[in-house]
Amino acid sequence: MSNNDLPEDQHAETADDIFASWGHPALPTTLKKACGDHWDYAIGLRSGLVIRFNEATPHENGTWLKLVCNDGDDFGVYASLRDMLEGKLLWQPERGIDVQVADIMWAVDAPFGS
């Protein structure tokens, strides 16, 4: 059931609501979706690392996202975009990984199609 199916006073708090309440700008569309929709996503960090993950949770006053990477053997941290495309996984954090929002340079919804 989506927020649109609920009465106005029963809408669940969205990622935008959470970040706005912490005084941060809204997340890009892909990351907002990842905060409420278990799927396939990838982000690129300032360092060049790429993380393929299946869900995100904002925390630490909106400055961090916890990424869960447990939807298969190809979800986790890659040294580069090329390595992700070639399936050369560097590390698979079993309990997820916390990422500083300010270090995220790009985000992709369904990096290998839907």
Q: What is the predicted pLDDT for the residue at 5? A: 45
Cβ contacts of residue 104 below 8 Å, gap of 6+?
A: 31, 43, 44, 45, 46, 65
Confidence of residue 23 (pLDDT cuts 50, 70, 90): low
pLDDT higher than 60, residue 2: no
Percent of the chain scored above 70 by pLDDT? 77
Q: What spatial distance separates the first Cα and last Cα of the chain, rounded to whole Å?
A: 21
Contact 104, 43 (CB under 8 A): yes
Q: What is the predicted pLDDT for the residue at 62? A: 78
Q: What is the pLDDT of residues 71-112, one digit of tens each?
A: 888 999 999 999 999 999 999 998 999 999 999 999 999 999
Which DSSP category does 86 fall into? Answer: H
Distance CA 55, CA 45 (A): 17
**Segments in 22-101 forming alpha helices (H):** 29-34, 81-86
Domains annotated for the chain, with CATH where assigned, are: 29-109 (2.30.30.100)
